Structure 1
Amino acid sequence: MTPLAETLLNYHHRTKHTLQRYAKGPETLDWDDQPDPFRHFSGCQIVALPKPGRELDVLFSDLDKPDTVPIQPLDLANIGLLLELAFGLSAWKQYGPNRWSLRCNPSSGNLHPTEAYLLCADANIVPAGVYHYVSYDHHLEQRCQFTEALPEGEVLIGLSSVHWREAWKYGERAFRYCQHDIGHALGALRYAAATLGWKIELCSGLADADLAQLLGLDRAADFKAKEQESPDVLCRILTSVTPAACTDTALMALLPSAVWVGAAMSLGAYHLYHWPVIDQASAAAIKPRTEASSRPVVAPVVPSPSSGQHLATRLIRQRRSAQQFDGKMPPLPITDFYRLLNAVLPDTATFGFWQSPPKVHLFIFVHRVEGLTPGLYALLRDESALPALQAAMLSSFTWQKQPGGLPFYHLYAGDLKQIAKTLSCHQPIASDSAFSLAMVAEFMATIEEQPWRYRQLFWECGLIGQVLYLEAEAAGVRGTGIGCYFDDSVHEILGLKDDAFQSLYHFTVGKPLEDSRLQTFPAYGHL
């Protein structure tokens, strides 16, 4: 095993929750010193975006066939809508004196470690440069201007993570959650682009060091100590059938002409705890330059029609994380359940930009689904993994393939509600739902071959989670991601005895119970 892979394996084991103890986190939380969820840069020119809240006449079900969605022009109004639907505010909530915002991209603990940047080369939109998106104000801050131009129409979105924002509450396990959030953000960006008839493409050959230079994240003096951002991913926005012509080399050639301004304002007054193991894991998972990866282009599989006819923009804005479920809900219709399964398969339009082979499979605790015997099931997102999973798991599992044409298998019949609840840190949302699930990744071989893909495994889980969030909304129910679970107890239930497979994320879907004590306010009423 390489030293980098060993560092990441040690981090992963160290940050597991167990029935006997939770991963190391802060002993106390000073809620008055919670990190500011909105980053601002001082000394930057502000670029106003058109008023948020615009709707498009595109149904959520239309996004299954992206080539049928009208292509919107590449202009500032539509870039603003893209940023709003991907990373903007969706509502404000208030309980007593406490008020907090919700966003279109979900985040563990609503802490939002993800920051978004626009890299634009089209002077007809904004002067060529790098812009930080401020979701609270729905505007751009110009961090950099390029004196040399890129090909007209070249627009990219860069994502980064402020690890401290998440570690403030979750301690050492926070690095995992930041990666989940990047996956959710990628999913949110893909859906936002699809409503405009656009597509996204990962700039998969860039090194993290390249991205840090392009986004100005390597400028240490511009950031307060311990509040710096780690580069994650750069996405090219494709607004027509002809891909943009700019190469990674051309992007890097812009740097000598870059003129940077501004500095990040502090996110909080105190840093009571520091978690060096996060810095170690982050360093071990840094991505070098690689060959740009790609998957064969095939016509996407279209899931069965959605039971709801919702405007895509409206459904994206109404996505919420359920806090509690109705444990007496009627069974989820089987048609909705199978659409949810179909939607997370890698050959659907949502995963068209994902360039790596699927490494994550779903193990589903079915509680209340019409026509399905309660028990444990598996959805294999790459059916070639079947022999390895069968060999690694309990020999008593039946592996009976279910009718319907999906790689969906019945493993065990029984009432698993209490087990699901216990495994997910005793949370009732895992048992009061229609179903909950564990996302199990092909783990050890992946990080041994390329340690930086440790982060990518969590991104894949977050991307799956974002699909489940929106598909649940379309089905008239609601989802919730679960980052707190007892890792090795999950493995024990499945029969896993080594690191070949690891559970990296949990999720649950059910009928939400609304808290009448909470008040809801418009997302951008403060503007």
Structure 2
Amino acid sequence: MNTVTAYHQRTKHSLKKGYAKGPETLDWDDQPDPFRRFEGCPVYALPKPGRELATTWAELDQQSHIPSESLNLDNIGLLLELAFGLSAWKEFGPNRWALRCNPSSGNLHPTEVYVINGVTDLLPQGVYHYVSHDHHLEQRCTFANAKVPHSLLIGLSSIHWREAWKYGERAFRYCQLDIGHALAALSYAASVLGWRVELLSDYSDADISALLGLNHQDDFVAREGETADLLCRIHYNDSAMDTELEREALINSLQSSSWLGKAQSLKAYHMFHWPVIDAVSQTAQKVTHQTSHSQAQLPVAVTSHCTLPASQLIRQRRSAQNFNAKSAAISQQAFFRMLAALTTHNSAPFNAWNWSPAVHLCLFVHKVEGLVPGLYCLPRSEQGLALLQAQLSPDFKWQPVEAFPSLYLLYATATNLKQTIKTLSCHQPIASDGVFSLAMLAEFKDLVAEQSWHYRRLFWECGLLGQILYLEAEAAGIRGTGIGCFFDDDVHGVLGIADGDDTLQSLYHFTVGESLEDTRIQTLPAYEHLL
């Protein structure tokens, strides 16, 4: 068993064996600062946040019909705000916390965002760190001869310790889910502007680390460093974007550039340390220069009827805390729209994804008009269908749903389904009180054996699907939330996966329903503190 597979097995929750290792106690007054800042850097304020664009959510299905906005500082600021910025502040008694457009497990936000700017008439060419709290850029690197001709790149990294403070050893999983959320959020934000995100998957982690300055270990407090994850290129309506990036020349020129500033401490006491996260992070590094490969994609199969401005819908996304267990069923149209949005298509966020589907969905349907409650399956590829039929229980009947033939009814039940999914989801009522919930099953064994870094990629795909569900639920007038706490092998048992068989593994759960709002919690504007 290699390090990655051993980590995955070690960090499973179990009904019989208990939960994965985590901190014995939490001091909420000692929570890590959710906003990283660098000292000693020039700061560049971005234009005032909050601007709305006319593009509706439904129009995002037709990317080619969305007019491309100009490349200027206003729109760069809007891109960063809609992808990674604050969406609101919450206040309850003496406690105050920020929500963001990109969701995060426990609202801990391990993901950090960098901009590599090669556009001379925007800002001085260089590498910048985005501070969502202040909506400004900190210039980490200045260069004059870097090979980034008229290009705008976005880099993502993770501070594993920020997540592990609460979740212990399982935190590495959640950091990878958050990267998937963030990539999808960036793709949607670019789409609103008529732009497109290209995921530069031919860059290794070492490449990205060098480009973002993460390999300058002396610039970070011990155990508070960042691990490189993704690098993206923003495509806008400009002929200069056809210029090819020279990877080696870009890396060499940035390594010889001047780096500025040092990361401030995240201001929390390191009471617990989790060496297993360091070990799996090291083993799961992407060391190859893999060429991107995309697949032929079709338009979204079911049309959205949401006429809200896409920028408004993105800002109003929330993670539901409780559902109304007595809510009415949702319509088939709303349900099928959400499922269609999860299948690969040629709009955001799949136009920023370079791999064939490797994650499939098992749905616990509670309340959808015209569908019997039961367990359903949505394979996201023909190969996935064959694999699922071979791996799941032989007692499942695989009956196609007439109105949505790629969805299969495995078994119907009107009695114990809700209690089952509640139990499997660490006894959380939110999994059973909504209209449906689901488990994301990944093609695990072969992909991880092929390259260890695919472990992270599978979680990224799950996070990307989660972000789709978050926004499509909002568009349907309801709400969703991700569930990272579930009893892994007990889920597999319900699905009929043989004990010890890791051909398929459940990596992420999600639930959708009518949200119940806690009226004791006050909601405040996202950037009121900047006015």
Would the TM-score normalized by the shorter structure come out above 0.5? yes
Give, in whole Å, the separation in 1 of the partners of 2:434 and 2:238.
41
- What's the counterpart of residue 59 of structure 1? 56
Q: One-letter code of the match for 1:13?
A: Q
- What's the counterpart of residue 316 of structure 1? 314
Shift of 1:251: 2.1
The answer to which of 193-202 and 246-255 deviates more is 246-255
- What's the counterpart of residue 343 of structure 1? 341
Are the aligned partners of 2:219 and 2:263 in contact in 1 as well (CA < 8 Å)? Answer: yes
Q: One-letter code of the match for 1:281?
A: V
Q: RMSD between aligned alpha carbons?
A: 1.2
Relative to 1, partners in 2 of residues 1:363 and 1:524: Cα closer, same or farther, differing over 3 Å?
Answer: same
Give, in whole Å, the separation in 1 of the partners of 2:51 and 2:386.
49
**Equivalent runs, 1:113-512 vs 2, <5 Å:** 113-240=110-237, 243-245=241-243, 246-298=245-297, 300-350=298-348, 351-415=350-414, 416-497=417-498, 498-512=501-515
Deviations 1:252-288 (A, max 9, x none): 2322441101000000241000000000100110001
Shift of 1:30: 0.9
- What's the counterpart of residue 11 of structure 2? 15
Give, in whole Å, the separation in 2 of the partners of 1:213 and 1:478.
39
Aligned residue-pair number: 522
Deviations 1:376-417 (A, max 9, x none): 000111122222211211111000111235421110101311
Give, in whole Å, the separation in 2 of the partners of 1:240 and 1:453.
33
The answer to which of 238-247 and 139-148 deviates more is 238-247
Secondary structure of 2:528's match? coil
Secondary structure of 2:170's match? helix
Identity, % of aligned positions: 59
The unaligned stretches of length 5 or more in structure 1 are: none
Deviations 1:313-369 (A, max 9, x none): 000000000000000110011000000000010124121221111100000000000
Are the aligned partners of 2:146 and 2:250 in contact in 1 as well (CA < 8 Å)? Answer: no
- What's the counterpart of residue 74 of structure 1? 71
User: Is 1:34 paired with 2:31?
Assistant: yes
The answer to which of 227-236 and 256-265 deviates more is 256-265
Q: One-letter code of the match for 2:431?
A: A
Q: One-letter code of the match for 1:492?
A: G
Give, in whole Å, the separation in 2 of the partners of 1:492 and 1:215.
43
Give, in whole Å, the separation in 2 of the partners of 1:91 and 1:183.
22
Give, in whole Å, the separation in 1 of the partners of 2:130 and 2:92.
28
Q: One-letter code of the match for 1:501?
A: L
- What's the counterpart of residue 96 of structure 2? 99
Relative to 1, partners in 2 of residues 1:80 and 1:252: Cα closer, same or farther, differing over 3 Å?
Answer: same
Secondary structure of 2:139's match? strand
The unaligned stretches of length 5 or more in structure 2 are: none
The answer to which of 284-293 and 434-443 deviates more is 284-293
Are the aligned partners of 1:203 and 1:248 in contact in 2 as well (CA < 8 Å)? Answer: no
- What's the counterpart of residue 526 of structure 2? 523
Are the aligned partners of 1:342 and 1:406 in contact in 2 as well (CA < 8 Å)? Answer: no
Give, in whole Å, the separation in 2 of the partners of 1:239 and 1:428.
44
Are the aligned partners of 2:146 and 2:249 in contact in 1 as well (CA < 8 Å)? Answer: no
| TM-score, normalised with respect to structure 2 | 0.97
User: Is 1:84 paired with 2:81?
Assistant: yes
Q: One-letter code of the match for 1:318?
A: Q
Are the aligned partners of 2:68 and 2:193 in contact in 1 as well (CA < 8 Å)? Answer: yes
Are the aligned partners of 2:295 and 2:356 in contact in 1 as well (CA < 8 Å)? Answer: no
User: Is 1:24 paired with 2:26?
Assistant: no
Deviations 1:182-239 (A, max 9, x none): 0000010000000000000111111101100000000000000000000000000000
Are the aligned partners of 2:366 and 2:434 in contact in 1 as well (CA < 8 Å)? Answer: yes
